[in-house]
Structure 1
Amino acid sequence: MKRFAKTHEWYDNETGYVGVSQYAQEQLGDIVYVDLPAVGKEVKKGDVIVSLESVKAAGDVYAPVSGKIVAVNDKVNTNPEIINQDPEGEGWLVKIEASNPAEFDELMSEEEYRKSL
């Protein structure tokens, strides 16, 4: 199940994938560069985990949950436009193995997130 943070990240507790929302990628515009973290890095909810650069702006991606980064999506390094094409699917950024499952419950449902926009 996918949940959303106020800072426009999503987290899927079934796969552990993290990415930016459709809304966030629309605000950034065409993404041209992605700075991914190292696999194995421990993160706390709210930590900056990824930096994105677009033709319009740069933006940080924050950890929606605490845990360990167990994978990164290398495809977005070579083809950052995947994030614009499918930000809530193939354009995932990192995979986090959550260390505090209760944090997932603090995130918004997709309906709550869409209403917050």
Structure 2
Amino acid sequence: MAAEDFKVVDGLYYTKEHLWVKVDGDDATIGVTDYGQHQLGDVVYVELPEVGSEVEAGDKIASVESVKAAIDIYSPLTGKILSINEDLKEDPSLVNVDPYGDGWIAEIQMSDPNELEDLMTADDYRAYIQEVESEEEV
């Protein structure tokens, strides 16, 4: 698939680890991007963080296992875990089916909104996955 075949939602922030971040006031919802879930393949298990736990940007907050790989999810932001997507316990495939909607992983109350400046915009992320895809073709 070409980079432009993957859905990238404008208005969200993105990481090089293929996570998206949706900001609402001081709260940020985090999930795996369409490109990220495609790279993983069919998700079979998601280990979620503990509600109420304090995390630093770069801390492991979750694990995602698929038929192809298992990856750790690292928080792009510092803050407190407000909620987790309990639906993923019963149906981890939501990460594949609806990565920007029902497949979200956790919601964090940000303690430092300035960290958002370290994340990519939708346009930056589109360029990044295009770069990643072209490197894989070599």
TM-based fold match above 0.5: yes
Max Rg structure: 2
Q: TM-score, normalised by structure 1?
A: 0.96
Residue 77 of structure 1 aligns with which residue?
89
Displaced runs of 4 or more, over 3 A: none
Aligned to 2:126, the other structure's residue is in SS state helix
| One-letter identity of the residue aligned with 1:93 | I
Structure 1, residues 14-47: CA drift from partner, whole Å, max 9, x if none?
1521001111100100000010011001111111
Aligned length: 117
| One-letter identity of the residue aligned with 2:17 | T
Residue 55 of structure 1 aligns with which residue?
67
Residue 120 of structure 2 aligns with which residue?
108
Residue 36 of structure 1 aligns with which residue?
48
Distance 2:100 2:107 in 1: 13
Residue 66 of structure 1 aligns with which residue?
78
Residue 104 of structure 2 aligns with which residue?
92
Aligned residues with identical type, % of pairs: 44
Q: Report which of the two has the higher share of helix.
A: 2
Distance 1:105 1:86 in 2: 26
| One-letter identity of the residue aligned with 1:44 | E
RMSD: 0.9
